Chains A and B, each alone.
Chain A
Amino acid sequence: MLYIPGNNPAMIQQAGVYGCDAVLLDLEDAVALNQKDAARILVRNMLKTVNFYDTEVCVRVNNFHTPFGLTDLEEIVPLQPDNIRFPKTETVADVKEFMKEVRRIEKEHGIKNPSMTIHVMIETAKGVANVYDIATADPRIDAITIGGQDLTADMGIIKTPDGVGIDYARKRIVMAGKANDLDVLDTIFADVNDDEGLREETEYIKKIGFAGKALINPRQVDVVHEVFNPTENEVRKAYRVYSEYIKNKKAGIGVFAIDGKMVDAPVVQRAITVLEFAKIDLKEIEKNAG
């Protein structure tokens, strides 16, 4: 997910062409206080006019405890971007208050079946402590994300390249997300010239369960995709696992072996995940296996 400052028209109009899966149009931290109104108006108009192609569009509004949060919602919710991100979420009450306003605005604009989902962002120690409850606070939450910069500031620590200071928070947030079937997205990697550092960090967060990563420059897109996209060998292996699973299932066999290694339900589930990442049609495999 590529972060784009909400007051940068040149970047917003190109947001859909960088090849990222999602863009976040930011009204919060990337926008100076004296630019908040301009950014809100710009993002509102860009949502109406710019073709983002198949890139998912998320708008990060300002927190409710600022003078801008409610006005942001009044302008953005009627346009129903794919998601709205609620920053610095700390408690269930925060979510309830936020969603109450979202639903009021949708009702006032006659939006009966809202498509917009909610991303909650955990950026304080209190938020980390409450993350399980936050994750279940509203059914429209479909992603949860960690804000590393604000979190380290809140904790009074420095964000180091090894990420050790936020490691617990990362893992706790992943568990909260996984427990509730939510996508979990990692924080930004600030050095846009350090591709290797970005690759290492992305490989790590992939291993511990994140589904994606926030980016601050389009040049980071390819590195993150390379890490998350399954390799050709992984896809081949997953194809074989799923294909054999279908054949065995028809024969009433639940657990079987490939090349001497046991294949059970979790292995099959991981294979399905790989195939879905690779955009391979499972039905086609089922047909061929049949």
Chain B
Amino acid sequence: MKNAIGVEIPEYIEGLGKLEPFQGVWKSIIEDEVPSTNISRTLKAKKPHASKLCKTLEEAIKKCKPFDGMTVTCHHHLRGGDGVLMKAIQILDEMGIKDITLASSSLTSAHDGLVPYVEKGMITRIFTSGIRGALGDTISVGKLKYPAIIHSHGGRVRDFLTGRIKPDLSVLAASAADEEGNATGAHGPSAFGSMGYADIDARYSRNVIVVTDNLVEYPCIPSTVRQHFIDYVVKVDSIGDATKIASGTTRITNSPMDLRIARIAATVIEHSGLFKNGMSFQVGAGGASLAVAKFLREDMKRKSIIGSFMIGGVTSYGVDMLNEGLFHSIFDVQSFDAAVSSSVLNNPNHIEISCDQYANPNNCGSMTNKLDVVVLGALEVDVDFNVNVITGSSGEIRGASGGHSDTASGANLTVVVCPSFRGRLPIVKDRVHTVVTPGESVDVIVTERGVCVNPAKPNLAAKLKEAGVKVVDIRDLKEEVEKMTGIPAEKQLGDQIVALVEYRDGTIIDVIYNVKNLS
């Protein structure tokens, strides 16, 4: 069956079940009934004054009675420094547990060590929002038993609430926790800021273990994860590499090209009609997208604009803007650098939120639905404004869906920033290799060679032209770039489906096939 953007979707995949094709950004959420398969919380009980503390993670996992075919979940707030997920998988493997479904909110370079567990079939299913490095390569060549599911951040919450992901064991790292499992990422030697992705795991998993290198006196204040969801608590020497968990202060790029793109994007925002008091804003943490914040900051000061809130992954740059009074508040689901943690801890206007509140499509208070402007990156874009943030130039899995499609669907203005080519590779395609965010939810693509406005937004195009912005037809831009770069050779792909891209509403928007020759 074909979905709304013309991708052939299998009706059923062994090990994953029946699939629903993507029908449009809001079609299944607004026009169809909300799925009625909501799960309920696990009933738990504990004797008065009994201790939850375990001497080792192994002891805690044993108490959770692991079994073959179970689902294990983790969060990715420790980023490239995570030492907890790998430890949990290693223990489960030593116990002889197999056929595991791993549902981590994202997977980073810290999880390359999962490769042998995938290869030997100990891990057979993966649900996540991002896969990179050696693990991405392993899945791309078809070594995971069942196709990986790439979901969005909001989609993960929906998957929990509809029972698509049924967590049996959640191992949640915290930079500070107490004996009852009240836990935070806001302080401690390994502080990582918001713990927003872990909230859903804590609430809905059958067994929850909090792991910390910093057991504090009861009660842990503040606490994101609360004690009445937590089964066991483990104090360990280290939850990972602190230098990779949170690295200093995020710096704005020095790349002249990224800065140029960012300057144009900020001009687009200024003339979009949304640049006014009360504006809400989200920006990514890297390259050109973060640099947009630099120019927006200057423009807001120049025009005396005060925004309402920023959301999302938060950098120290966002905290600076909050402290300067350029925004009233920050809603923080994930903190990107060490400098943010103290703001989470000390500034009442820096509000930690769960991923449920951030981006779940099936609730009535998702922050992404209140968003005015979001600036997002891209690995590829196409003439229909679809965006790929998951597969690389050979078709390999090497990126993250993250909150890309969540924010794009909700924002009044979705701006995608990318160079028109990288190295010798054109970025504007007839069709992106993998659609993560549908063009229907993308308004503007900003490149160094011009700004492409979705034809569905003629008024926006007119406003930008009037402001002197160089607006170009995306097909003309593609042609111009291909004159310089040529057209890349076809990717060498097989016929095995290695991953499915799940849109935030649970439908399948694209299918990823195995790469034959991954260099």
A residues whose Cβ falls under 8 Å from a Cβ of B: 13-14, 17-19, 49-51, 217-219, 222
How extensive is the interface on chain B, given as a class? 10 to 19
B interface, by DSSP: helix, strand, loop or mixed?
helix
Question: Top 9 closest A-B pairs, CB basis?
Answer: A218-B256, A17-B448, A219-B256, A17-B449, A18-B260, A219-B259, A17-B260, A13-B484, A14-B257
Please give the distance in Å from B379's CB to the nearest CB on chain A: 19
Contacts of B257 in A (CB 8 A): 14, 17, 218
**CA of A217 to CA of B484, assembled, Å:** 23
Taken together as a complex, chains A and B put the C-alpha atoms of A50 and B484 apart, in Å, by 8
**A133 CA / B259 CA spacing, docked (Å):** 42
Roughly how many angstroms separate A268 CA and B163 CA in the complex, as a whole number?
76
B480 close to chain A: CB less than 8 A: yes
Residues of A within 8 A of B480 (CB): 51
Residues of A within 8 Å of B254, CB to CB, are 219
Do B449 and A218 touch across chains, with their CB atoms under 8 A apart?
no
- A18 contact set on B, CB distance < 8 A: 256, 260
On whether A19 and B484 interact (CB within 8 A), knowing A218-B256, A219-B254, A219-B256, the answer reads: no
Which residues, 472 to 488 on B, are CB-close (under 8 Å) to A? 480, 484
Contacts of B79 in A (CB 8 A): none
B235 at the A/B interface (Cβ < 8 Å)? Answer: no
Return the CB mask of B239-280 against A: 1 if under 8 Å, else 0.
Answer: 000000000000000101101100100000000000000000
Is the Cβ of A218 less than 8 Å from the Cβ of B260?
yes
The answer to whether B260 touches A19 (Cβ under 8 A) is yes
A19 & B256 in contact (Cβ 8 Å cutoff): no
Q: How far is the CA of A257 from the CA of B338 in the complex (A)?
A: 60
Starting from the known contacts A50-B484, A219-B254, 5 additional A-B residue pairs (CB-CB under 8 Å) come to A13-B484, A17-B257, A17-B448, A18-B260, A51-B480
CA distance A250 to B462 in the complex (A): 38
State A183–B260 Cα separation when bound (angstroms): 27
Instruction: Please report the C-alpha to C-alpha distance between residue A219 and residue B254 in the assembled complex, in whole angstroms.
Output: 8
Q: Once the chains are docked, how many angstroms separate the CA of A19 from the CA of B266? A: 15
Q: Which residues of chain B are within 8 angstroms of A51 by Cβ–Cβ distance?
A: 480
23 contacts between A and B (CB under 8 A): A13-B484, A14-B257, A14-B448, A17-B257, A17-B260, A17-B448, A17-B449, A18-B256, A18-B260, A19-B260, A19-B263, A49-B484, A50-B484, A51-B480, A217-B256, A218-B256, A218-B257, A218-B259, A218-B260, A219-B254, A219-B256, A219-B259, A222-B263
The chain B residue with its CB closest to the CB of A51 is: B480
Bound complex: CA A18 to CA B484 (Å): 17
Which residue of chain B lies nearest to A220 when distances are taken between CB atoms in the complex?
A: B256
- CA of A49 to CA of B259, assembled, Å: 25
Report how far A14 CA is from B480 CA in the complex, Å. 13
